[in-house]
């Protein structure tokens, strides 16, 4: 039986610690604030944004959510971002992705002040992560590192395989594993003999976006298996990129979906916001 790596439990612990830090900052006269910008009506995004708002309440962070219509222009969105950049009450700015098609993510992210970019998506923050000298870690990979630590398995010297190479998860994930001295392979849709590669992994991270993609015969017995997926199965039920029922008996540790990586991503967003707030006091 695999150890279940509960993001619910670990994220609650992280949020408890952050709550104390937010209180201490407040006693020193520094409130902590996060602005979340949601453009359009994507139903998954609405749920994610609501969860971010709730987490702010739990931790004691002031939050404001700007809900903008689907047909918001680039000019209007950039005007809001510039206002938030200059607003002293706001330490962190998060623009929920995906944006409607007529808006260019890159242009929008480039305009967030790097010191308020709590997603760590701005090119300057991405560059800092590459060289291992960063203020913020990207939320999902950072949350995954916490769960890997929770498994008790040391990354140092281990064979790590990441399936997926997105800018938000796959690429930074590989980098964080490398920072902890893992031997890292990044797989993607052009990878040959995928199962052979994944089967070599002591630590396997699946961020493919295909329901139940990782099967038991792709997993090394005893491996730590991290599931970043938020998919729907053939019956419309929430599931991950890993076939949990098949893989759990083979794995040494595994994250559930839901209740694994998702809550950790939000906890790390809270952590980055507190970091941004603290930096203003320095």
Task: Please tell me what DSSP assigns to residue 63.
Answer: E
d(CA 272, CA 132): 16
Q: Residues 119, 146, 150, 202: which binds ligand GUN (CB under 6 A)?
A: 119
Q: Quick one: CA torsion of 97, 100, 101, 107, rounded to 10 degrees?
A: -60
Task: Please tell me what DSSP assigns to residue 29.
Answer: T
Task: Please tell me what DSSP assigns to residue 254.
Answer: E
3-state secondary structure of 147: helix
CB of 265 to ligand GUN, least distance (A): 6
Q: Residues 11, 63, 140, 174: which binds ligand GUN (CB under 6 A)?
A: 140
Is 227 in the active site? no
- 249 with 2: CB under 8 angstroms? yes
Choose between 211 and 262: whose C-beta lies nearer to ligand GUN.
Answer: 262
Sole window of 18-26, 90-98, 198-206, 247-255 interacting with ligand GUN (rule: CB under 6 A): 90-98
Q: Residues 11, 63, 72, 96: which binds ligand GUN (CB under 6 A)?
A: 96
Choose between 98 and 157: whose C-beta lies nearer to ligand GUN.
Answer: 98
Asked whether residue 165 is marked as a ligand-binding residue, the answer is: yes
d(CA 17, CA 278): 14
3-state secondary structure of 255: coil
Which residues ranging from 223 to 282 are in contact with ligand GUN (CB under 6 A)? 265
User: Beta strands of 57-212 (E only): which ranges?
Assistant: 62-68, 92-95, 159-163, 183-187, 203-206
Show the tokens assigned to 83.
Answer: 């206002």
Sole window of 1-9, 68-76, 89-97, 186-194 interacting with ligand GUN (rule: CB under 6 A): 89-97
Task: Tell me if 151 contacts ligand GUN by CB under 6 A.
Answer: no
Is 52 in the active site? yes
CB of 253 to ligand GUN, least distance (A): 23
Which residues ranging from 162 to 191 are in contact with ligand GUN (CB under 6 A)? 168
Q: Which residue number is nearest to ligand GUN in terms of Cβ?
A: 97
End-to-end CA distance of the chain: 47
Choose between 218 and 268: whose C-beta lies nearer to ligand GUN.
Answer: 268
Show the tokens assigned to 11.
Answer: 């994220």
- 30 with 281: CB under 8 angstroms? yes
- 20 with 76: CB under 8 angstroms? no
Is 96 in the active site? yes
Task: Please tell me what DSSP assigns to residue 90.
Answer: -
Q: Residues 22, 94, 177, 261: which binds ligand GUN (CB under 6 A)?
A: 94
- Give the active site residue among 15, 96, 117, 202: 96
The residues binding ligand GUN (CB under 6 A) are 94-97, 119, 139-140, 168, 265
Catalytic site positions: 52, 96, 119
What residues are designated binding site for NADP(+)? 164-166
């Amino acid at each position: 039986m695999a150890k279940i790596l509960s993001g619910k439990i670990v994220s609650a612990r992280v949020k408890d610690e952050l709550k104390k830090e937010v209180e201490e900052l407040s006693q020193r006269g520094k409130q902590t604030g996060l602005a979340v910008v949601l453009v359009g009506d994507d139903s998954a995004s609405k749920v994610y944004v609501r969860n971010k708002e709730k987490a702010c309440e739990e931790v004691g962070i002031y939050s404001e959510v700007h809900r903008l219509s689907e047909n918001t222009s680039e000019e209007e969105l950039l005007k809001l971002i510039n206002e938030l950049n200059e607003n002293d009450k706001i330490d962190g700015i998060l623009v929920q992705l995906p944006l409607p098609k007529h808006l260019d993510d890159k242009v929008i992210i480039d305009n967030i002040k790097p010191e308020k970019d709590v997603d760590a998506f701005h090119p300057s923050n991405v560059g800092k992560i590459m060289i291992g000298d960063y203020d913020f870690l990207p939320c999902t990979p950072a949350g995954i590192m916490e769960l890997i630590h929770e498994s008790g398995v040391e990354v140092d010297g281990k064979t790590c395989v990441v399936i997926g190479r997105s800018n938000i998860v796959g690429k930074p994930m590989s980098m964080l594993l490398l920072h902890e001295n893992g031997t890292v392979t990044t797989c993607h849709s052009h990878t040959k003999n995928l199962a052979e590669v994944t089967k070599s992994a002591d630590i396997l991270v699946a961020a493919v976006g295909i329901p139940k993609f990782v099967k038991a015969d792709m997993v090394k017995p005893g491996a730590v298996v991290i599931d970043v997926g938020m998919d729907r199965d053939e019956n419309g039920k929430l599931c991950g990129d890993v076939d949990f029922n098949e893989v759990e008996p083979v794995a040494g540790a595994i994250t559930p979906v839901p209740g694994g990586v998702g809550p950790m991503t939000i906890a790390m967003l809270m952590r980055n916001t507190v970091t941004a707030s603290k930096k203003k006091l320095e």
